[in-house]
Amino acid sequence: MGEERLQKYIARCGITSRRKAEELILKGNVKVNGKVVRELGSKIDPDKDIVYVNGKRIYEKDKNIYIKLYKPEGYVTTVKDQFNRKTVIDLINIKERIYPVGRLDYNTSGLLLLTNDGDLANKLMHPKYKIYKTYEADVKGYISKSALVRLEKGIIIDNFKTAPAKVRLLKSGSVSTVEISIYEGKNRQVRKMFEAVGHKVIKLKRTAFGSINLQGLKEGQWEYLTKDEIKFLKG
């Protein structure tokens, strides 16, 4: 990208206006590679230099990060937790600030996406885009064909009818395993759907978000999305 003026870079990162950035530089509130810079004509290389404003590292707005995580049970899907429980952010050792796309319950494991791209995160959480999230649910008891059909067609929970789902029976027994794909994301929706047809969910795992899956990841592991996966999300 080449060099650019420090105040322009600060503005481009969305921290403040260029004029205000100049004031911050003059006040000594800006560091480049750990050293205070007060000269307005100073130039930096955005690809190499690290800039801090008011003690916090700043990043270019277009430097978006996209990560997939295999969330274990026992982690909350927030950046910070008021009860000091472990959060999904504790599992990801990067300096950039990211946040989860949607939620997975404390007792639910599986695929979680995290990003610093707020526009895309909002789009992915909106049901109108019909991005299916696939779950594997272990439920109590033998589950009937009629119960599976009810889940497929949509069922009343919390005074609203769920959208049609894709449902597949993977294992039948005293504990049955069902694969279910939904594009809505209401609070505890999958668990409530199964309860509505008389089956308590014992274990729940999200296995896919659209065409993105857990392949290659073990519980607690994460990796950056590939170009193809990002392309799918941006659709």
Query: Residue 1: what pLDDT?
Result: 58
> Which CATH number do you get for residue 52?
3.10.290.10
User: Residue 92: what pLDDT?
Assistant: 95
Q: Quick one: 192 and 204 in the same domain? A: yes
| DSSP output for 100-154 | ESS---TTEEEEEEEES-HHHHHHHH-GGG---EEEEEEEEB---HHHHHHHHH-
- The pLDDT of 43-71, averaged and rounded, is 88
So which residues are the catalytic ones?
105
Looking at residue 170, its pLDDT comes to 98
**What is the pLDDT averaged over residues 166-192?**
96
**What global pTM score does this model have?**
0.74
- Whether residue 205 is found in the same domain as residue 229: no
Range of the domain at 137: 132-209
198 and 105, same domain (yes or no): no
Closest CA to 50 of 13, 91, 104, 99: 13
Q: What is the CATH number of the domain that holds 96?
A: 3.30.70.580
Of 57, 78, 100, which marks where a domain is finished? Answer: 57
Q: Looking at the structure, tell me whether residues 121 and 155 fall in a common domain.
A: no
Question: Is the pLDDT higher at 74 or at 11?
Answer: 74
pLDDT value at 213 more than 90? yes
Domain count, the chain: 3
Q: Are 44 and 77 within one domain? A: no
Q: For residues 222-235, give the mean pLDDT.
A: 91
71 and 121 in a common domain? yes
Looking at the predicted structure, is the pLDDT value of residue 14 above 80? no
**SS3 state of residue 4:** strand
168 with 70, same domain: the answer is: no
Q: Are residues 186 and 218 in the same domain?
A: no
Asked if pLDDT for residue 63 goes beyond 80, the answer is no
Element holding 223 (H helix, E strand): strand 222-224
Whether residue 35 is predicted with pLDDT greater than 80 in this model: the reply is yes
Rounded distance between C-alpha atoms, residue 161 and residue 156, angstroms: 4
Which pLDDT score, from 0 to 100, does residue 193 have? 98
Looking at the fold, whether 110 and 226 belong to one and the same domain comes out as: yes
